[in-house]
Chains A and B, each alone.
Chain A
């Protein structure tokens, strides 16, 4: 109680001791739970192979950065990395642009079939991926045979697939966000001579940047982390990290230190990006999805 008494308290009443202690204990336990795998990932990636094949050790017998060099040799990790970057990057850009157009139409226009559209798009979220994995595989193979456009096994097919995964949530969140941008703003822009697209890009998009960033982060993370479709729809040349990482354990030895090092390396881009942009995600959700 002593430390809160000196500070001017923000709420009219200082929280009681029971609340402060519950908070302290709960948050400490939660922190341990959250950090345990991160701790294992970081320390194991710096251990020599003997340390990770024998009994687990809290303190490594020696530190080495060898795993961080070996990971690129054991499997073609750089190729997987490039594939993942191309696939997730393209899927994100396309998904955001398409979602912006669709959300603009729903937010600013009344038209026949609007409700059907939003309900249909949202309900695709509930489809189990396993339901359309095989049919999609059949469609991509058939399109490939008919037109010569390689969708199955290609990055392009994977980009198309992934961008639709994040599309429903993105559209839904952006509708909420665009609704919160006052209509007077785009009416004023139209009076000033902007067309419908001018109003969208000069007024609504700049006002909705936090929502758009949030949607982009979500789309990138969805594509970067997807396993099921990547494992069926890629071949040796287009393999993404999600599948490629399994390459360390199919050999006779399981190189746990390399697996941990590789996991850390492939996580860094998304985790860094996410943590930098998480403020936008919270504000984006507050204004958009959670209303």
Chain B
């Protein structure tokens, strides 16, 4: 009460002395009330501006400049390049454009497979673990371990397992099961795509599991009881009640998984180092290499901008499509 009482009495005394003072004070009070939400948002806003939005604008500007190592000390002196960086990136007959297109297609295939498998494992595990059984709590904790482990620690362990001469995978498939004539390379050549996929799914599915578990808790129990009374079996309950109820959760989950997987840098970087084998050359690694290994930041920025445009279009279409589908099923 004290904080609100003090200005009120002050206002009353001021009113007696100076008739013009009262509206001004009331206005400053209203200003404070309106200003408060902005004040609360200010730190978040400033930091987002500094780290995300301003760099994005600079990135777009740089994509129109010829920024090589000669200009990196003061990037504002670099000459304008017009659309050169873009034409270089999308000229699919030339080596640079060809490599970018290849990397893009690899990333698309990788993302579809990885997101699909993560979703499948996460959903199946969450649905199987909806009912209580002995050891459920323990398993739930265990399944979150890949999510909790720092990326580099987990991925380095996988890199060790996939070593040609001293790894676990080759020991099992070559030495113990005798499936191959000679131990294959997993971190070089075409196999590296499969390696990357396995590691990515191992790392990513617990997040789907976590979100699905949270989503399942919001389904009211009595729907199942009513369905059971009507004679619906467990499989039917899962198909008719559980999966449809998870639709809104799915909309967000699939989008988040898609963006994270498509932009993933950490997994291939720790697995393969600064330059990934062609079969596992994800777009982030490709752009990183184009910018930092060859010191052509202009071209790297142009590729990043193209990537962002692609993600914006896909996200927009996805949201439009899934929201319309939702409306149609509601109505």
Mark A residues whose CB is within 8 Å of B: 10-13, 15-16, 18-19, 22-23, 26-27, 30-31, 33-38, 40-41, 44, 52-56, 98-99, 101-102, 104-106, 109, 111, 114, 117, 120-121, 124-136, 138-139, 160-161, 163-164, 167-168, 171, 193, 195-196, 221, 224-228, 231-232, 241-242, 245, 256, 259-260, 263-264, 266-267, 270-271, 274-275, 278, 281-282, 285-286, 289-291
Contacts and interface: CB of A to CB of B under 8 A. Distances in A.
Contact of A139 (B54, B228, B235, B266): B54
Contact of A105 (B41, B53, B165): B41
Contact of B144 (A105, A135, A278): A278
B50 interface: yes
Interface in B219-266: 224-225, 228-229, 233-235, 249, 252, 256, 259, 262-263, 265-266
Given A36-B161, A227-B269, 19 more contacts: A31-B139, A35-B142, A37-B161, A38-B145, A55-B166, A111-B37, A125-B256, A128-B263, A128-B283, A132-B52, A132-B55, A135-B62, A136-B55, A160-B51, A242-B151, A260-B157, A270-B150, A275-B145, A286-B218
A262 to B, nearest CB: 8
17 contacts: A15-B234, A37-B202, A41-B153, A104-B40, A106-B37, A106-B41, A125-B259, A130-B263, A130-B287, A130-B300, A132-B51, A136-B55, A160-B47, A224-B150, A225-B152, A228-B266, A285-B214
B48 A120 contact: yes
A12 B165 contact: no
Interface band, chain B: 35 or more
B182 interface: no
Complex A-B, nearest 8 residue pairs according to Cβ-Cβ distance, in ascending order: A132-B55, A135-B55, A263-B153, A274-B148, A105-B40, A135-B58, A56-B171, A131-B304
Given A126-B311, A167-B48, A196 B36 contact: yes
B64 to A, nearest CB: 13
B interface majority secondary structure: helix
A267 B161 contact: no
Contact of B291 (A23, A134, A259, A263): A134
B186 interface: no
Nearest to A217: B148
Contact of A132 (B37, B56, B224, B234): B56
Interface string B311-323: 1100100000000
A44 to B, nearest CB: 7
Nearest to B45: A117
Interface of B: 1-4, 34, 36-38, 40-41, 43-45, 47-48, 50-56, 58-59, 62, 72, 75, 121, 124-125, 128-129, 131-133, 139-154, 156-158, 160-161, 165-168, 170-171, 175, 202, 210-211, 213-215, 217-218, 224-225, 228-229, 233-235, 249, 252, 256, 259, 262-263, 265-266, 269-270, 283-284, 287-288, 291-292, 297, 300-301, 304-305, 307-308, 311-312, 315
Contact of B51 (A10, A164, A171, A195): A164
A87 B124 CA distance: 37
B312 A126 contact: yes
User: In this complex, which of A23, A31, A109, A128 has the most chain B Cβ atoms within 10 angstroms of its Cβ?
Assistant: A128
User: In this complex, which of A135, A164, A196, A291 has the most chain B Cβ atoms within 10 angstroms of its Cβ?
Assistant: A135
Contacts of A33: 202
B108 to A, nearest CB: 14
Given A11-B228, A13-B234, A56-B167, A245 B152 contact: yes
A11 B224 contact: yes
Contacts of A289: 211, 214, 252
A57 B121 CA distance: 29
A120 B47 CA distance: 13
A227 B153 CA distance: 11
A34 B53 contact: no
B121 to A, nearest CB: 7
Given A31-B142, A139-B58, A242-B152, A101 B202 contact: no
B312 A221 contact: no
Nearest to B75: A138
Contacts of B168: 36, 40, 56
A11 B124 CA distance: 19
Contacts of B202: 33-34, 37
A99 B44 contact: yes
B297 A134 contact: yes
Nearest to B217: A286
A199 to B, nearest CB: 12
A254 to B, nearest CB: 9
Nearest to A15: B234
A193 B125 contact: no
Given A134-B59, A290-B249, A228 B217 contact: no
A164 B154 CA distance: 24
A286 B150 contact: no
B288 A130 contact: yes
A130 B217 CA distance: 37
Contacts of A231: 269
B213 to A, nearest CB: 6
Contact of B41 (A117, A130, A241, A278): A117
B44 A27 contact: no
Contacts of B213: 282
B131 A15 contact: yes
Contacts of A133: 288
Contacts of A125: 256, 259
